[in-house]
Amino acid sequence: MNMILVIAAREFKTQFLSPLAWTILAILQFILAFLFLKQVETFIMIQPQLATMDNAPSLTDITVTPLFGIAGIIFLLVTPLLTMRLICEERRNKTLSLLLSAPLSNTEIIIGKYLGSFGLSALIVLLITIMPLSLLMGGTLDFAKVFANILALLLLTGAFSSIGLYMSCVAESPTVAATSAFGAIFLLWILDWSTGLTDKPSELFKYLSILRHFQNIQSGLINTLDISYFLIFISFFIMLSIRRLDKEHLQK
């Protein structure tokens, strides 16, 4: 456990030594702040109509949910960039042998790397959360719903990171890792689209689609099915990554 944290801490800090992490943080924050302000403006504009409606959407529904929804889409683009170097660059720079000849198990290496990279995503989620919290100065928020959104986004980025990590284990170069991770995530994202085309949507595709589970949790319907989908997803790709690293010293 201790070693996992050592690797995770190193990985987390190393990300900030390259301009990539800073650039991503800055751009994300800028885009999302813009969107957030747009949503707040919308709310102010339609507020008089909302007052006359029964069961009207609340401030949280109009600002927080779309903000986190868009953040999910942006993570779809950004996570592959954050995870692409994890194993692949170490292998390329021949630094992987440092980890392989240290008294560590491959499980520790992979989980450490995963947590280090997930840490940055979690930090981004935290920064996004601060925006709606600023509304507390003049309004009220539905905290249960805010929490559901945070949980949904964390699970989503966790799943994205795990797939990115696996691609980084498999691929020869970071670019290939990022491209394949993006392809895999995007495919899972759009699987749901095909289900709307026919009268009898495929239950399997419906279950596999990551978007559906994300939106379920986001809407506040936190149930075991959706949570376990993400947890199984994450453990599956972490296990695949460990297996891939195990094979590292078998072949060349």
For another protein, the binding residue among 1, 17, 45, 197 (CB under 8 A) is 17
H runs (alpha helix) in the chain = 2-15, 19-52, 59-83, 88-92, 96-100, 106-133, 143-170, 174-195, 203-208, 210-218, 224-247
87 close to 116: Cβ distance less than 8 angstroms = no
Asked if 210 touches another protein (CB under 8 A), the answer is: no
Which of residues 19, 48, 52, 103 is near another protein by CB under 8 A? 103
In whole angstroms, how close is the CB of 172 to another protein at the nearest point?
17
Q: Which of residues 94 and 200 has its CB atom nearest to another protein in the complex?
A: 94
CB nearer to another protein: pick between 31 and 102 = 102
Is there binding between residue 6 and another protein (CB under 8 A)?
yes
Task: Considering only the stretches 51-59, 97-105, 129-137, 189-197, report the one whose residues sit in contact with another protein under the rule CB under 8 A.
Answer: 97-105
Decide: helix, strand or coil at residue 142.
Answer: coil
**Residue 140 binds another protein (CB under 8 A):** no
Q: Would you count residue 200 as binding another protein (CB under 8 A)?
A: no
Site for another protein in 141-180 (CB under 8 A): none
Q: Residues 95, 134, 175, 223: which binds another protein (CB under 8 A)? A: 95
If binding is defined by CB under 8 A, does position 250 make contact with another protein? yes
68-73's contacts with Cβ under 8 Å and 24+ in sequence apart are 68/128, 68/149, 68/150, 68/152, 68/153, 68/218, 69/215, 69/218, 70/32, 70/35, 71/28, 71/32, 71/124, 71/125, 71/128, 71/153, 72/152, 72/153, 72/156, 72/214
Q: Which chain residues interact with another protein by CB under 8 A?
A: 3, 6-7, 10, 14, 17-18, 93-105, 249-250, 252
